[in-house]
Structure 1
């Protein structure tokens, strides 16, 4: 009788054992097909996120006393000039970094001026205080004593905006991470003078459009006195805030993103000059344009470490006074849940595979010990141990094939169900805000962080390669389990096997 026929007869006659084996192998195949499919789809999605998200690194100056890095002298114009005593970040250094392979853009920092504009801004904490004082005074406008009773101070703060001076607003982190989106006009570009990009909400509240102007003035934050010459900017673009900013009664109007105005870096120099003019003091100018820091963006997050190492090896600054830090929090926030899905599904495949190997090894050992009499007779009539092991392998392989075919038919719905459950478990909740806003204490610097990626929605089709991989793994596990459990019996002599009870 051939090996194949003996294997087939055993399967049909010992249907209870083989039914147990069929159920185990079917469950294993289903879980492994689902795990491999989810892992593959999650890795593809993570790759798409990597291509769509922009990550980078920051070259930032360390906090040190000014006299350690600058020397002061008076030039022919009577201006007090700062001359670097150490190598600081200049445009030449920035350009050298931008020339590296993999670096695609740079944001060179910003200077912020809070100016009174008189606009109808999105109300915050100062508006509430101003309205309460007006109600108490029973008047519509502050009078001469407004400086003393706080009306003028509240009004100036309640109708003020942060003017963010930037070289190129397109590379500003708020636009790069998707918190803000240009919806009309253009960005602030290098070389612009007194142009502005404002929010569509601020424009709508004040009936403004492209080509209109906004005028700001410096004011005393305590008294509310407005003292500077007017700073007029022309609107060249409108942006939209892509999330609802969480605000409290303490959120100041200038700290509300919809009230922010992007303009060129000249606003900071103008503001410092106006401040010195009003309060006294000699304006300080730089001998050459300097960057307090810069954020560089790379084309692929996978290149980030390599590019950072190259930058640290360059002599663009004195590295005793500067540091390089990763700026990939937004990418990690978006890709993190997807990568977690990939890791969990890969772990599922690993655990199922080794768990099944252990279970099959134990069951095979028990079943083969129950077939010692049969194996002893086969050995005594001249059937070799090799052929007996082949028969045992064929028996399990035929059951494994049937289990795989059943699993292949049911894997689609199960994979989708498990994948969606995993996505809900590790992904962001539907009601979570995608961004959060924080204000740096003492500086009023606004920072926007990505707090949640998009809800995970993957297509869980099983590729032919994944079917083949699971089938080969299945056969490998079955083969190892049978060989491990059968060697203790097949290596004995027929007399030893038949003589045991």
Structure 2
């Protein structure tokens, strides 16, 4: 008799056992498919996050590497050692690196200072207290920036332009943006010209740099930090924070801008993802950068913050898939073995009538596979809703843990920063992904189908191998 017909008659005759076996397969396939769907959704979310956030690579001076390289000016006994020209990161070099194909956005800044002049005086709402010595911080804090909007104070709304425009990559070299209180104290408005002196401190034995440079007020901004009502050094007062272009900042540092466009303190390059760092390094070397002295380090904090919880959720789902598959195979193998023992008389009679052992095993495999196929169809129909519920619950727990961890880590130094210094343009502040988008596609159905049938085959063949080693006499006389 055809073993396929026997399998069909058996499934119909033993309907209770058929339903039980199908239900067991349904539970296994549903859990496994849910794990697959959660993993697939997490992978899609991670890819989307990589494109939207990317990773930020920072280039800045490694002072220890400069000293070890011998390129720093050394102490000769008469004058102290200085960083020297070997520690200058030139703007033209950074511009060439910005042209790399893996860079989606770049920015750089120059930390500088500026001495006041008759045409622009410091804002000092509270005079120096009587009997207190001048602390020597009577100058402006002048930051040279490529794009003012990328600074965190302007991104998060603490500071805002109230007239004119901020500094952009295409701004004129002599543009300056000043604070509203400073503008009122000096009677300045957008379009007025001001004069500033270089603010770099002279090296011992050298005359101070008294050069002056003219700037045009391109914008006025309002700082979110009010006056404290008590005396503070002029440089630390928020109203004395001015912004110039990187070229303007280089001039105020006393650096030559004719040949190399000036100097920058640090440069940041936004990449599509952390994997692009090697390509960026290759492009930087080709542009002439010494990555020993000016290393490139990736700050992928935003990307990790965004995808950390959903990645851990996917890892848990993957572990669940493995455990369910192994446990399901073991349980089904025990069920099939028990069924084979109950059907020992049937097996012995069929073998005594000349039925081939592989066909007997094939009959059991068809029975189990038929139950598996029905279970796979039911699991495919209902797994998306269940997977969404499970995924949302797991992800909510991971997001809560990530936010608590983030709150405890606020203010901790960035381990990826050179010399322990974190660049201000370190990427957008982001919240973890808190929603998982479950989708069931043909590939997922094919994957669970292959897994379910694989479990069915293992659960049938492992205990069924004993059938191939028995004779009809052994089966009918010994039972087991």
Q: Does the TM-score normalized on the shorter chain lie above 0.5? A: yes
Partner Cα distance (1:476, 1:488) in 2 = 19
Over residues 2-31 of structure 1, what are the superposed CA-to-partner deviations in whole Å (9 max), with x where a residue is unaligned? 323322333344445434422321111111
1:392 partnered with 2:364: yes
Change (3 A) 1:364 1:213: farther
Which consecutive unaligned segments of at least 5 residues does structure 1 have? 73-80, 121-129, 131-140, 221-227, 242-250, 273-282
Over residues 270-319 of structure 1, what are the superposed CA-to-partner deviations in whole Å (9 max), with x where a residue is unaligned? 765xxxxxxxxxx676885334442233344432333335545x472444
Secondary structure of 1:453's counterpart equals: coil
Counterpart of 1:457? 435
Q: After the TM superposition, which residues 39-438 of structure 1 pair with which residues of structure 2 at under 5 Å, given as runs?
A: 39-63=39-63, 64=66, 68-69=70-71, 84=85, 89-113=89-113, 146-148=129-131, 163-169=142-148, 172=150, 174=152, 185=165, 187-190=167-170, 192-193=172-173, 195=175, 211=190, 234-236=217-219, 262-265=243-246, 268=249, 289-312=262-285, 314=286, 316-427=288-399
Change (3 A) 1:196 1:476: farther
Over residues 148-167 of structure 1, what are the superposed CA-to-partner deviations in whole Å (9 max), with x where a residue is unaligned? 369x99xx99xx98643213
**Preserved CA contact (<8 Å) 2:7 2:367:** yes
Partner Cα distance (2:221, 2:50) in 1 = 28
Counterpart of 1:33? 33
**Preserved CA contact (<8 Å) 2:313 2:398:** yes
**Preserved CA contact (<8 Å) 2:167 2:177:** yes
Q: CA deviation at 1:382?
A: 1.7
Structure 1 vs Structure 2 CA RMSD: 5.2
Secondary structure of 2:295's counterpart equals: strand
Counterpart of 1:498? 476
Over residues 186-244 of structure 1, what are the superposed CA-to-partner deviations in whole Å (9 max), with x where a residue is unaligned? 54325534545689x999x99x99948899999x9xxxxxxx99997635487999xxx
**Preserved CA contact (<8 Å) 2:112 2:143:** yes
Which range is displaced more, 394-403 or 344-353? 344-353
Q: CA deviation at 1:464?
A: 2.7
Counterpart of 2:455? 477
Partner Cα distance (1:37, 1:454) in 2 = 20
**Preserved CA contact (<8 Å) 1:198 1:238:** yes
Secondary structure of 1:108's counterpart equals: strand
Which range is displaced more, 382-391 or 427-436? 427-436
Q: CA deviation at 1:453?
A: 2.4
Which consecutive unaligned segments of at least 5 residues does structure 2 have? 75-81, 200-210, 225-231
Change (3 A) 1:142 1:403: closer
Secondary structure of 1:373's counterpart equals: helix
* TM-score of the aligned structures, taking structure 1 as reference length: 0.68
Over residues 69-92 of structure 1, what are the superposed CA-to-partner deviations in whole Å (9 max), with x where a residue is unaligned? 3569xxxxxxxx9974x5964344
Partner Cα distance (1:202, 1:428) in 2 = 42
Secondary structure of 2:131's counterpart equals: helix
**Which structure dedicates a bigger proportion of its chain to strand?**
1
**Preserved CA contact (<8 Å) 1:376 1:498:** yes
Which range is displaced more, 63-72 or 97-106? 63-72
Secondary structure of 1:58's counterpart equals: strand
Change (3 A) 1:499 1:108: same
**Preserved CA contact (<8 Å) 2:114 2:252:** no
**Preserved CA contact (<8 Å) 1:37 1:415:** yes
Q: CA deviation at 1:474?
A: 0.6
Over residues 78-129 of structure 1, what are the superposed CA-to-partner deviations in whole Å (9 max), with x where a residue is unaligned? xxx9974x59643443344334332344323331549999999xxxxxxxxx
Q: CA deviation at 1:488?
A: 1.0
Change (3 A) 1:23 1:258: farther
Over residues 32-68 of structure 1, what are the superposed CA-to-partner deviations in whole Å (9 max), with x where a residue is unaligned? 2211222212211111111111323233322145994
